[in-house]
Amino acid sequence: MESSVTNAIISQFAEDMASFSQVDVIVVGGGPSGLMAALDLAKKNVKVLVVERNPHLGGGFWLGGFFMNTVTIRSPAEKIMDELGVKYKRFQKGLYGAPGPLMCSKLIAAACEAGAGMLNMVSFDDVVLREKNRVAGVVVNWTSASTLPKAISMVDPVALESKVVIDATGHDACVVRKLEERGLYKVPGFGAMWIEKSEDEVVRHSGFCHPGLIVTGMAVSTTFGLPRMGPTFGSMLLSGRKGAKAAYDFLRKRSK
């Protein structure tokens, strides 16, 4: 039985990895905006892969803020909670909330069930660039390899190809920062807190920021110099949805 268990794990991983090596959309970061984008794309039969550096998916969505469970959502994002089948409480007109563990696990389950691929414990390391510096994939490595001292972890990364990459890495905006490192983008960084303005502006700016690269969630604040948001998550979901739509429209246009 031992060897059968080992073989089951290895053969499935090899099959998954072969399929992940070339997809339509790679979402870097499995927080609320990345998972939402992956869910919407997978539902439309787009081949989508989430690359997440932690063993667990969900990013900051497990907690509502200040180590407390209630995740708040401002209107109109409660509609997405309805879609996910999450029961929520109305705190006042336009402000709703539910326990983070419930909402986060429902979103993860929905994205997995819709068919989004998940590559966890794997960190984004670099971009793949093609003609005119179009982003055409990502270079990744095991998170454990990147956290060990170089002398022990001389492990070359591998590359995954895609038609679109979504940077959903939160405040760090790792993918956009990599473009900055290569002199292709100037990142202003996020500003001071202003919940309403940030939520609206993040959703408004979600979409392509560079050929082949879409940005969603808090990475949008960092990329466009918008205010930080604080502990409210509706726009993370709406931003992921808008990013997914931008990717889908792009893929459809490309296939014509």
Note the residues at the interface with ligand 48F (CB under 6 A): 28-34, 51-54, 59-61, 123-124, 168-170, 172, 174, 217-219, 229, 231-233, 236
Minimum CB separation from ligand 48F for residue 26, in Å? Answer: 10
Please check whether residue 119 is in contact with residue 50, taking contact to mean a CB–CB distance below 8 angstroms. yes
Please check whether residue 93 is in contact with residue 30, taking contact to mean a CB–CB distance below 8 angstroms. no
Distances (CA, A) of 26 to 55, 95, 99, 189: 18, 32, 28, 23
Type of residue at 18: A
Q: Are strands 191-193 and 227-228 parallel, antiparallel or unpaired?
A: parallel
Whichever of 225 and 231 has its CB closer to ligand 48F, that residue is 231
Whichever of 52 and 201 has its CB closer to ligand 48F, that residue is 52
Whichever of 5 and 192 has its CB closer to ligand 48F, that residue is 192
Distances (CA, A) of 7 to 15, 119, 122, 192: 12, 19, 21, 51
Minimum CB separation from ligand 48F for residue 220, in Å? Answer: 8
* Separation CA 57–CA 34 (nearest Å): 10
Whichever of 24 and 33 has its CB closer to ligand 48F, that residue is 33
Whichever of 6 and 230 has its CB closer to ligand 48F, that residue is 230
Minimum CB separation from ligand 48F for residue 133, in Å? Answer: 20
Minimum CB separation from ligand 48F for residue 256, in Å? Answer: 31
Minimum CB separation from ligand 48F for residue 34, in Å? Answer: 5
Angle of helix 32-43 relative to helix 234-255, nearest 10 degrees, comes to: 40
